[in-house]
Amino acid sequence: MHGKRAVIVGGSVGGLFAGNFLVRRGWEVDILEVAPENLASRGQGIARHAELEELLDQLDVPRGMSGGIDVTGRTAFDRTGAIISTFELDQQLCAWNQVYLSLFERFPRQHYHGAHVFSGFETSSEKTTVHTTNGRSFEADVVIGADGFRSGVRQIVAPDIQPEYAGYVAWRGVSQEANLSETFRRNIFSHYAFLFMSGSQLIGYPIDGADGSQDPGERRYTYLWYHPASDALLADILTDASGKTYEYGIPPHLMRPEHVETVRENARQQMPENFHEAVMRADSTTVQPIYDVDNDHIAFGNVALIGDAAFVARPHVGVGVLKAGQDALALADALAECDSIPEAMSRYESERLPAGKRAVEHARNLGAFIQRRLDSPMDDPSLNLPPERVIRVSGRPVEHMIEQGL
């Protein structure tokens, strides 16, 4: 199927992985992205995995070019701020945008179309025409939905699949290392930290600077704080000062200041003092409502869903970027190696559907104690979530857990 055309809806990491893999296999590819500019200013920290490095190797991204801070393990802290468990694991932690930029810079710029909002498609004579709201149309042999958990492509091919709110949010923030105290930098900064508090959990770790710098003093510290939020509270958090409520997430600059102050007040009351700076000195505060998206199919005729358009696993597992890349590679290989598009789609779904379902199930387990408003993950032994296990299995592919019997 060399020389065929693909249209990818969504120009984030998943779409760029798919686009780059297909171009290297001789396909003509157009990527349609809603945002008018590239997405380098978005995203915060991610945990990297050896599997991600292997995907980037296939696109000739030199090791280290996409950034990353080396850590040698994970550390669990209790609600007093004391260390209660450690686990040795060499890993890199980095800013999301460094991976994104490595992919963006490799994709043919003239085929990356910003400010193109997907509006639908129709298929005739085995060809599909994809439309955008600005009146442009793109012909394709294959359409790939890489447009995130609110996927417009999924709304057409699988309209019954809707994101399900998990009952809690993740507050996020990033601090400049230079703005943190010497005490915080000495005692907390270098840890891949898991802080267990009453009914909530914070993950914090160092990442490279905004310009990719890994030099001491120029790096940053990011946190993700899982915190319960009722449906009513979520609706209020997602409502701006004008009274407009955003369905799934509010732009950071439109969040009402009182919600940011509430996060800081909750930190003062609920968080041990040695972690206060992670929240108090963050340059900005954003919120991510936690949703699940599960699916029974990710291929529909000549349409495939990848990344968060296919499955959304809560960020406890920390494999969003990796999963998108693995989906993209599996799809590109199937399209390159099979004799027909239907055969390729069938192969793609059989390979990636089980992996998506495992990730969703594992993430639900890791977040169950927050969703159920338990004081501690150990309150229900059936969850099997003692801190020493949580720090071993969080932020890692499910396959690692299975292989090691965790």
Report the C-alpha dihedral over residues 23, 28, 33, 39, rounded to 10 degrees. Answer: 20
Tell me how far apart the 2 most distant CA atoms of the chain are, in Å: 67
Beta bridge partners of residue 291, listed in sequence order: 165
Mean pLDDT across the chain: 94
Cα Rg of the chain, angstroms: 21
Residue 174, SS3 per DSSP: strand
> Given pLDDT bands bounded at 50, 70 and 90, which one contains residue 210?
confident
- Domain architecture of the chain: domains with CATH: 5-61+98-163+292-364 (3.50.50.60), 69-92+166-290 (3.30.9.60)
Q: What is the pLDDT of residue 97?
A: 84
Is the per-residue pLDDT at 170 higher than 90? yes
Distances (CA, A) of 138 to 113, 197, 199, 239, 306: 11, 51, 49, 36, 20
Q: How far apart are the first and last CA of the chain?
A: 41
Task: Compute CA distances 233 → 162, 388, 389, whole Å.
Answer: 20, 32, 31
pTM given for the model: 0.93
CA distance 300 to 150: 18
What phi and psi, each to the nearest 5 degrees, are found at residue 354? -60, -40
Looking at residue 64, its pLDDT comes to 67
- Are 327 and 209 within 8 A, CB to CB? no
* pLDDT per position as a tens digit, 350-366: 999 999 999 999 999 99
What's the confidence (pLDDT) of residue 47?
A: 81
Range picked from 8-12, 33-37, 247-251 for highest mean pLDDT: 8-12
Question: How far is Cα 116 from Cα 22, in angstroms, rounded to an integer?
Answer: 21
Are the CB atoms for 326 and 277 separated by under 8 Å?
A: no
Question: Cα(96)–Cα(84) distance, rounded to whole angstroms?
Answer: 29
CA dihedral 280, 283, 285, 288 (to 10 degrees): -120
Mean predicted confidence (pLDDT) in 137-147: 97
Is the pLDDT at 284 greater than 90? The verdict is no
Q: pLDDT-based confidence at 204, cuts 50/70/90? A: very high
Strands 28-32 and 5-9: parallel
pLDDT at residue 58, as a whole number: 96
CA-to-CA distance for 309 and 140, rounded, in angstroms?
19
CA distance 4 to 21: 13
Looking at the predicted structure, is the pLDDT value of residue 41 above 70? no
Structure tokens of 34?
């809603």
235 three-state secondary structure: helix
Per-residue confidence band for 135, with pLDDT thresholds at 50, 70 and 90: very high
Segment 20-33, tens digit of pLDDT:
999 999 999 999 99
For residues 129-151, average pLDDT: 96
| Predicted confidence (pLDDT) at residue 406 exceeds the cutoff of 80 | no
Rounded to 5 degrees, φ, ψ at 265 are: -65, -40
Strand, coil or helix: 143: strand
